[in-house]
């Protein structure tokens, strides 16, 4: 219970902090000592009615010790729907609530080890060309000593285009 409360407090602090500068999807994963995060292969533009576009949320343990608790988070603004693939839940896609952020936790991330979570997005019904979406990836973590922290948030802009536009 204490771990859940600590992670919730850390996540709330991170989400209320000023937004990070927008970066390109190809930006390198950076962060504070603990974990680093990035969204890999995220499209910069998606066309209305274009269907699903795959990408991944990447997190790496940048400490010298094992992290017994790491939680991936993704927040954002409309007009996109985002899902993550969960092998543990029978290999199914689950929609991410972009207002709540947290969507999956891992245990025992070894030093230097990384995770890459398959994800996908598509424009929401009624999305208008010219609209913009923003996704912000971060991860919370706790170490073996109960010290918790948050990765540097990485924000990405996505432009909604007309069907058939490049």
166 occurs within a structural domain: no
Q: What CA–CA distance (Å, rounded) separates 139 from 153?
A: 8
121 occurs within a structural domain: yes
pLDDT band at 33 (very low <50, low <70, confident <90, very high): low
In DSSP notation, the chain reads: -HHHHHHHHHHHHHHHSPPPPEE-TTPPPB-STTEEEEEES--SEEETT---EEEEEEEEE-SSS-BSEEEEEEEE-SSEEEEEEETTTTSEEEE--TTT-EEEEE--B-TT-EEEEEEEEEEPTTPPTT-EEEEEEEEEEE-TTS-EEEPPPEEEEEEEE-TT--
125 occurs within a structural domain: yes
Residue 40, beta-bridge partner list: 56
Q: Give the pLDDT of residue 146.
A: 85
Q: What CA–CA distance (Å, rounded) separates 5 from 38?
A: 25
Q: Give the pLDDT of residue 26.
A: 30
76 occurs within a structural domain: yes
Torsion angle of the four alpha carbons 75, 118, 59, 6, in this order, in degrees rounded to the nearest 10 = 50
Provide the domain count of the chain: 1
Cis amide prior to 72 (ω within 30 degrees) = no
Q: Are the beta carbons of 80 and 133 closer than 8 angstroms?
A: yes
Question: Any idea what the CATH number is for the domain that residue 28 is in?
Answer: 2.60.40.3670
Q: pLDDT tens digit string along 60-91?
A: 999 989 999 999 999 998 899 999 998 887 89
123 occurs within a structural domain: yes
- More confident site: 107 or 166: 107
Q: What is the pTM of this model?
A: 0.77
141 occurs within a structural domain: yes
Q: Give the pLDDT of residue 15.
A: 35
Residue 79 structural domain: 2-161
């Amino acid at each position: 219970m204490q771990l859940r409360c600590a992670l919730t407090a850390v996540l709330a602090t991170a989400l209320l902090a000023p937004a990070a500068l927008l970066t390109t999807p190809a930006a390198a994963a950076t962060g504070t000592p603990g974990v680093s995060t990035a969204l890999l292969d995220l499209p910069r533009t998606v066309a209305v009615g274009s269907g699903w576009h795959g990408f991944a949320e990447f997190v790496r343990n940048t400490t010298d010790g094992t992290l017994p608790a790491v939680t991936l988070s993704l927040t954002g603004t409309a007009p996109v729907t985002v899902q993550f693939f969960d092998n543990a839940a029978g290999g199914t896609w689950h929609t991410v609530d972009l207002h709540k952020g947290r969507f999956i936790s891992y245990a025992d991330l070894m030093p230097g080890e990384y995770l890459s979570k398959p994800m996908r997005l598509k424009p929401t019904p009624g999305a208008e060309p010219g609209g913009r979406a923003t996704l912000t990836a971060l991860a919370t973590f706790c170490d073996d000593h109960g010290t918790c922290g948050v990765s540097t948030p990485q924000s990405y802009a996505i432009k909604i285009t007309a069907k058939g536009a490049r």
